[in-house]
Structure 1
Amino acid sequence: MVISGRDRKKSKIKNVIFLTLTIMLSLVVVTSVYAYFEYKQGVKEAMELTDKLDIPNEEVEFKGVEDSIGNVNILLLGVDARGSESSRSDTIMIFQYEPETGTSKIVSIMRDTYVEIPGYNKQKINAAHALGGAELVRETIKENFDIDVQYYATIDFSGFSHLIDTTFPDGIQVEVENEMSKNIGLTLYPGAQKLNGKELLGYVRFRHDSQNDFGRVERQQEVMSQIADEVTSIKGITKIPNMIGTIQPFINTNIDNQTIMSVGTEFVSDDTNIENLRIPIDGSFTSKTYDGVGEVLDPDLKENREVLQKFLNQNPA
């Protein structure tokens, strides 16, 4: 049988297509296997450390609400002693990632913000975690600012320190403005430098200067941006599975591994400039003192609610 030139050309094209698909499929399989083993290795390394630290992994009921336009909204909580009923949240943030635009945003809610805590009357917002955990913090944010979040991630200070050392062994670069020492268990001196986990924890917790809690919130947002830069510039996409495995044992969260992997990979692929907002905003609150509560920031809730909803692209009906 004589094979025409046209048939030979068709056969060649089919072979090229078959070879291309085979290569693509092989890459997917290899990448998946690599990601799995990198993730498991990260978990193994972190679990060895968390077992020594005796960091608990408690069950948390969290009735998060999915964003109506597809954004990923995560409630980030830093607490004094995870697992303790009396642990107030020292840090309250909302992290938002917009998959369509690659935009990342962080909202810091001042811990002394005076709000209505459902079932407990008006108190500082940081009391919500002590009274009802991450779920009550979510309900409090919804009650006062009409903002829904779908996910939460809680980390205690010991976990934060070791997480930084494990994930970023060379430290995180920051600019220390002034000497810092009061109530942080160490002394930090002015200047640009890389801080290890314990030092970085002291840096983000320090509030005994002229800016008190406001300076502390600015430093927290600065560190979040620096961590994002470290992830994208040093670790890269190939390190994401290992990093996720490393981080996971240190936090309590309801984010499933598939979502973490997907968002993490997209986040690293995009420009990591992070937009920041602090609540209450300047000029929208008064400093007051209430019996049994102490000094608080009493906000104009209507103004702050509108600003926060606009910033996070949430416009409840």
Structure 2
Amino acid sequence: MKFFRKHKKRKIVGIIILAVVLLIVGIYGSIVWMFYKDTVGVVSKDEVDPKAEKVKIAEEDQKDKDVFNVLLVGTDSRDPNSDKGRSDSMMLVSFNKKQNKSTVISFMRDTLVDIDGYGRSRLGHTYAYGGVGLTINTLNQTYGLDIQNYVTISFDNLVNVIDEIGGVEVYISEEEAEYYRKNGMPDIVAGDVTLTGSQALAHARNRTLGSDFERTRRQRSVMYGIYRKIMSEKDISALLPLINYCVTQVETNMSVTEIYNMAKEVLSTEDLKMQQACAPQDGTYTPIVYEGMDVLEIDVDANKKMIEDLLY
């Protein structure tokens, strides 16, 4: 009887432990499902419907196993009735672990491109037509890329991320500093300045000074500010909580583990070379009017070569 009672007790404890484990797995699984249920998956090219509301990402062979590419898409939600659903910024964030270099390339929204199912139009229209999947497929087709992963973030959520890391340092020109002092930021000076989330957002959104190329430069400077801030910490133990927070502010088809492992690899790289560019590059485009739209007609081959040289 004693053995039976002991065995019965162990059985009850085992059932309780199993129930707790199943509960945890169930909760975690629900959270993961909620997080990933709306993400855009990768499928073979013959399964892609370019007219779908959410176009799938067409599978591409990785060009170099040492180069990892992610598309960062920023959306501006200030006026939901104006330019609704269109991407405000598109940046390729790349890491070449063999050559110890990271690259950020901005893609101009007004670039005239061929879009599957829609003909020729602005690159910026792809997000409205078919979401991030159509944007990625168009960039891959136009520039010979192998993008399979993405992160989308609204500028409003970007404010939260920047405040979470304690602000970002960016370079502010004399012209920019004067403009900001007259428009709600009286203490801003020229030079390397630490900006809060809302200040960095105003800087990235600035459409008044310079061309659209200048605006994308400002957006890249904010992204580099975030990157430099994280790199300066070099604290791997603090990385996971930060990533866990950031994934609540974005949409991505990458898992937390994938993001953590990539970030850890970048952080552990010594003498990392950082570079940035814009596509199309100077001298490789012509401003034209196409079907009533002001667009940039580009030298595709020249820009393909520029991107390949930077990434590989």
Q: Classify the TM-score, shorter chain.
A: 0.7 to 0.9
| SS across alignment from 1:250 | coil
Residue matched to 1:241 = 240
2:40 aligned partner: 60
Alignment of 1:1-317 (within 5 A): 58-61=38-41, 62-63=56-57, 64-65=59-60, 67-70=62-65, 71-81=67-77, 86-166=84-164, 168-169=165-166, 171-177=167-173, 178=176, 179-180=178-179, 186-187=184-185, 189-192=188-191, 193-209=193-209, 211-234=210-233, 236-270=235-269, 271-293=271-293, 295-313=294-312
2:60–2:148 contact (8 Å) kept in structure 1: yes
How well do the aligned residues superpose, as a CA RMSD in angstroms? 2.7
Q: Secondary structure at the match of 1:283?
A: coil
Scaled by the length of structure 1, the TM-score of the pair is 0.73
Alpha-carbon distance in structure 1 between the residues aligned to 2:60 and 2:212? 30
Unaligned stretches of 5+ residues in structure 1: 1-46, 48-54
Whole-Å separation in 2 of the counterparts to 1:208 and 1:100? 40
Partner of 1:27: none
Question: RCO greater where, 1 or 2, for CA within 8 Å and sep 6 or more?
Answer: 1
Counterparts of 2:288 and 2:241 in 1: how far apart (Å)?
A: 47
Q: 1:114 and 1:144 mapped to 2: Cα distance?
A: 10
Question: What is the aligned residue count?
Answer: 254
Gaps of 5+ in 2: 1-30, 42-55
| Contact kept in structure 2, 1:73 and 1:95, CA below 8 Å | yes
Secondary structure of the residue aligned to 2:288 is strand
Give the CA deviation at 1:164: 1.1
Deviation string 1:263-291 (CA, Å, 9 cap, x unpaired) is: 11111122344111210011011111233
Q: Distance in 1 between matches of 2:63 and 2:272?
A: 23
1:207–1:86 CA distance, 2 compared to 1 (3 A): closer
- Deviation by residue 1:110-130 (Cα, 9 ceiling, x = unmatched): 111111111111111111011
Q: Give the alignment's TM-score, normalised by structure 2.
A: 0.74
CA distance in 1, matches of 2:185, 2:114: 37
The AA in structure 2 aligned to 1:68 is: K
Alpha-carbon shift at residue 88 of structure 1 (Å): 0.9
Instruction: Note the C-alpha offset of 1:180.
Output: 3.5
Identity %: 28
Q: What letter matches 2:290 in structure 1?
A: Y
